[in-house]
Structure formats: C-alpha cells, structure tokens
C-alpha cells in the first residue's frame, strides 16, 4: 500500500453511488425498442426486456401507471411489439442491475397502430360502449347544432354550406379544436364539456377530413370515445373518408361517411319539407272530401229508411186516445160498483139499530164517571192527611229547625266537608257557616284543643 488514503466501499455502497450517478444523469429519457421476455405476475406490474439488434435493457411498468394522470396506453403491450417509451433510469441495488421505469408508452409503426386500434375497439365493445341499444335518436329538426372540428379547412366550410342550403334558419355553434397532434385529444374532450355547459344544443357533429392512421389517432383515443358515450346530446361522427372507420364512429350515435353527409343527416331539406307539407295537405283535403261524401251518402240512406216523424206521432196520438177511453170506461164501472156497495152497507147499518146501544153505553159511562170521581176524592183526602202528618214529622227532624234554635253547620272550603272535629281544620283555612237565614264565610284564626 502507498501512503495515500485508500477508500474501501462495500458492494451496497458502490451500487448506491452508481445508482445516484445514473439516476441524476438520466433523469427522464425516450427509448425505442422491441418488447421481449414479457411477464405479467399477479402483482399487476409488467416486466419485459426492451431490445434492438445489438443490445437490451430491462424495463418495468408499475401497476400505478394505469391510474396516474390518465396516461394509460390505449393498447395492450404484447411480445415482439415495437414501442416508444418515456422512462427514467433506476438501479436495483440488491442485484446491482439497472432498468427502465416507464412513464409513457406509444406504439411505433403502422402495424402497431393498427394493433392498438383493434385492441381498444375490442375492449370498448366488450364494455358495451358500441351497443346499439344505447344509441340515441337524432332529432328530426334540430334548432341548434354543435360542430367540433378544426376552425380552418374545407370540413367546416362544407358543413356550413350544406346546412345553409338545406335549412338556412338552423343555428350552428362551432367548437374549434385541433384534430391531430399532442393536444388534440384534450381539446376534443373539453369541447364536448363546453358544448354541454352552453346548453340548448340538439345534436353534435364531430368531424375532420381524411388522413392516415397516425393523423386519425385522436379519434381512436379512449378518452374521446368515452366523451362521446357520456354525451347526453346525440352525436354524429364524420371522420375521414367513407372507407375510414375510427373508434369515434363506433361510439357515436350515428356515423356519416363524410362531413357533408353528416350535415345532410343532421338537418332535413327545407324544400323537401315544404313539398311534403303541400302533399300532406292535399292528401288531407282529398281524404276529408271523400269522407264528407261518404257521410252524405250514409245520411241519405238513413233518411230513406226513417219514417216521417209526423206519421209516427199521429199513430201514437190515436193509440193514446184509445187507451184513455178504455181507462175512463173501466174507472166509471169501478166507481159505480163502489157506490152500490156503499149503499148496501148503509142499509145494513140502519137495520142493525146502533142508537139503542149508544144510549145504553152512555148510561154506563156516566155511572162509571161518578164512581171514579168519588174514588179520586177519597184518595186525595187520604193523601192530604198523610202529607200533613209527614210534613210535621219532617219539620221536627229537619236540621233547619235546629238552625232556627240558634245552631249552625260549618263546612271546610273548598271541599265542602262538614266539620265535626276541630282537628280537621288548620289556622288560615276558609270555612262556610250555614245559619237559619243565609250563610257566610270565615277564616280560622285559632283552634282550641279539646
């Protein structure tokens, strides 16, 4: 050993210093390569090797990547896929290995984009986002149409020209957005939110011109698809050419092959409506006239079948007169029979001589009357004597007679109990004193013991 001081590091310290240098030097970087040795353990993390034709490096996508800042890839990473990822370099000290921790992923190449498109389409379809039962009907005659597209270019001019030609009075609200690029997805989603906040929008048109699969990437994004499905306003998708199909087309309530076709589907033709109204009016008038003629013919048939009301009334009058005469004749016969019966009863009554029986009954009634008067007088006299005796006895027993001799009756208040013992009272109690003539109240001021 020389005289200089030699620093001795442990393996852990060496790995830690190497890690600090690498993580500081390569804080965030973009790396492109091919996926190999892909593993999906039960932890939910994704482990694989990123390689090219000369080298390779370990890489990991943690489970939290799916929920962080909504940066979940819109495709499933598969073995052999070529990807571009944003990552930071980290050292795993226990094994002295370094690896990439991915923060963002996107496919590379047309084949990868098509694969991501097919994976997202299958997943959203399995969730039911493309189910025809959730499609909302497009209103027949919208008053206000919202258009989400680029404010420049032929798309918006085509939509405005078609709507102005077909139905000039319809109102158009344009939500200008970028239809491709890094910010296009965010702007399209915000446009859906803004138009819903504005209100009074009857239908939405999401439109852009044709382009390559990379150009249409914003309309194959999951966020845009979910914004379309979450819209309470019906959405018409008009993205690309007639042969182009995007995720937005499947999520929308109606797909139009071109932006101009979307405008034609959104509003009817005013001239066609006017012609339809004229034709409908003509058909209604003709139908009314035919119905009126049919009613007139039917009325004529009824008149022919119906008899003259005067003849019917005359017949009823004759029948009524006949019944009246019959009733009068029957009533006269019945009255004559009753009169004859009454006369016979009078004769029989006179022959039975009721006057004698009446005189005999009168004498008996008079006798009974006299007997009743005598009995009543006797009973009254006996009752008067008994009354006089009982009155004298009652007067002798009445407490009033005692009061007339100077005695009194005392009751406590408010109960009204007769005071028979001074112990029933307390000093300050109120009492009522009854004397021969009247009563008065008094207050107990002193109680003498017995």
pLDDT digits (tens, 9 = 90+) for 64-73: 764 443 444 4
Other Cβ atoms less than 10 A from the Cβ of 177: the count is 23
| Residue indicated by tokens 């009634």 | 365
Backbone angles phi, psi at 44, to 5 degrees: 95, -10
Give me the pLDDT at residue 118, please.
82
Residues 91-106 have a mean pLDDT of 81
Residue 442 has pLDDT above 60, yes or no: yes
CATH level 2 (architecture), domain 11-108: Beta Barrel (2.40)
Other Cβ atoms less than 10 A from the Cβ of 81: the count is 21
Retrieve residue 241's tokens: 């050419």
Other Cβ atoms less than 10 A from the Cβ of 246: the count is 25
DSSP result, 316-343: HHHHHHHHHHHHHHHHHHHHHHHHHHHH
User: 3-state DSSP call for residue 226?
Assistant: helix
Measured CA to CA, the distance from residue 258 to residue 235 in angstroms comes to 14
Measured CA to CA, the distance from residue 327 to residue 344 in angstroms comes to 26
Sequence-ordered list of residues with C-beta below 8 angstroms from that of 74, at least 6 positions apart, any chain: 116, 119, 120, 220, 221, 222
User: 3-state DSSP call for residue 39?
Assistant: strand
Lowest mean pLDDT among 36-45, 46-55, 298-307: 298-307
CB-based contact 41:83 (threshold 8 Å): no
Lowest mean pLDDT among 143-152, 285-294, 384-393, 417-426: 417-426
Residue 2 has pLDDT above 60, yes or no: no
Sequence-ordered list of residues with C-beta below 8 angstroms from that of 102, at least 6 positions apart, any chain: 59, 60, 61, 65, 85, 86, 87
Q: What DSSP element (H or E) covers 170?
A: none
Sequence-ordered list of residues with C-beta below 8 angstroms from that of 61, at least 6 positions apart, any chain: 45, 46, 77, 102, 105
Omega cis (within 30) before 414? yes
Other Cβ atoms less than 10 A from the Cβ of 265: the count is 18
Instruction: Outline where DSSP puts E strands in 171-311.
Output: 171-176, 203-208, 235-239, 254-255
Measured CA to CA, the distance from residue 430 to residue 442 in angstroms comes to 6
Residue 359 has pLDDT above 90, yes or no: no
Q: When comparing pLDDT for 232 and 312, which is higher?
A: 232
CB-based contact 93:12 (threshold 8 Å): yes
Residue 358 CA, chain-centre distance (Å), reads: 93
Retrieve residue 88's tokens: 């930071």
Residues 283-311 have a mean pLDDT of 84
Retrieve residue 262's tokens: 């979307």
Measured CA to CA, the distance from residue 209 to residue 212 in angstroms comes to 10
Measured CA to CA, the distance from residue 100 to residue 58 in angstroms comes to 6
Q: Give the β-pairing of 56-61 and 97-107.
A: parallel
Going by pLDDT thresholds of 50, 70 and 90, the confidence category of residue 1 is very low
Q: When comparing pLDDT for 130 and 449, which is higher?
A: 130
Backbone angles phi, psi at 51, to 5 degrees: -140, 165
The residues that bridge with 58 in the sheet, in sequence order, are: 49, 99
How is the chain split into domains, by residue range? 11-108, 130-268, 270-309, 403-443
* 3-state percent helix, strand, coil for the chain, nearest multiple of 5: 50, 20, 30
Q: What DSSP element (H or E) covers 443?
A: strand 439-443
pTM: 0.47
163 burial via Cβ count (<10 Å: 0-12, 13-18, 19+): buried
Give me the pLDDT at residue 69, please.
38
pLDDT in tens, 140-176: 889 999 999 988 878 888 889 998 899 888 899 999 9
Identify which of 195, 218, 197 has the alpha carbon closest to the alpha carbon of residue 207: 218
For 130-268, the fitting CATH number among 3.40.50.10550, 3.40.50.261, 3.30.390.10, 3.40.50.740 is 3.40.50.10550
Residues 43-65 have a mean pLDDT of 85
Retrieve residue 32's tokens: 């492109």
């Amino acid at each position: 050993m020389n005289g200089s001081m030699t620093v001795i590091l442990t393996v852990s310290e060496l790995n830690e210093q190497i890690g600090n240098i690498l993580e500081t030097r390569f804080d965030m970087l973009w790396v492109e390569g091919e996926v190999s040795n892909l593993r999906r353990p039960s932890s939910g993390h994704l482990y694989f090797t990123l390689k090219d034709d000369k080298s390779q490096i370990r890489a990991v996508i943690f489970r939290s990547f799916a929920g962080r800042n909504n940066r979940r890839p819109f495709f499933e990473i598969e073995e052999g896929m070529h990807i571009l990822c944003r990552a930071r370099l980290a050292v795993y000290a226990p094994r002295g290995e370094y690896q990439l921790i991915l923060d963002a992923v996107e496919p590379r190449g047309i084949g990868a984009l098509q694969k991501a498109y097919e994976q997202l389409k299958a997943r959203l379809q399995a969730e039911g986002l493309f189910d025809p039962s959730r499609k909302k009907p497009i209103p027949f005659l919208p008053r206000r149409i919202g258009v989400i597209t680029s404010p420049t270019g032929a798309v918006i001019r085509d939509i405005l020209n078609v709507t102005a030609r077909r139905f000039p009075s319809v109102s158009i609200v344009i939500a200008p957005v970028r239809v491709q690029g890094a910010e296009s997805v965010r702007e399209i989603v915000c446009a859906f939110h803004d138009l819903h906040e504005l209100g009074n929008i009857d239908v939405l048109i999401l439109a852009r011109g044709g382009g390559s699969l990379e150009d249409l990437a914003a309309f194959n994004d999951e966020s845009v698809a979910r914004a379309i499905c979450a819209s309470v306003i019906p959405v018409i998708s008009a993205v690309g050419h007639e042969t182009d199909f995007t995720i937005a087309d499947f999520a929308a309530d109606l797909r139009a092959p071109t932006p101009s076709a979307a405008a034609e589907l959104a509003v009817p033709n005013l001239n066609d409506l006017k012609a339809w109204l004229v034709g409908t009016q003509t058909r209604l008038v003709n139908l009314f006239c035919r119905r009126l003629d049919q009613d007139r013919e039917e009325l004529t048939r009824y008149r022919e079948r119906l008899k003259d009301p005067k003849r019917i009334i005359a017949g009823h009058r004759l029948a009524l007169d006949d019944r009246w005469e019959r009733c009068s004749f029957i009533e006269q016969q019945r009255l004559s029979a009753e009169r004859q019966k009454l006369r016979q009863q009078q004769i029989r009554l006179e022959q039975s001589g009721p006057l004698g029986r009446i005189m005999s009954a009168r004498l008996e009634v008079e006798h009974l009357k006299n007997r009743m008067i005598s009995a009543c007088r006797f009973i009254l006299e006996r009752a008067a004597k008994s009354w006089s005796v009982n009155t004298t006895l009652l007067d002798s027993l009445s407490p009033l007679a005692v009061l007339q001799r100077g005695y009194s009756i005392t009751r406590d208040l408010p109960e009204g109990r007769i005071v028979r013992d001074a112990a029933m009272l307390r000093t300050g109690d109120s009492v009522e004193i009854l004397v021969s003539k009247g009563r008065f109240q008094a207050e107990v001021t002193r109680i003498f013991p017995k």
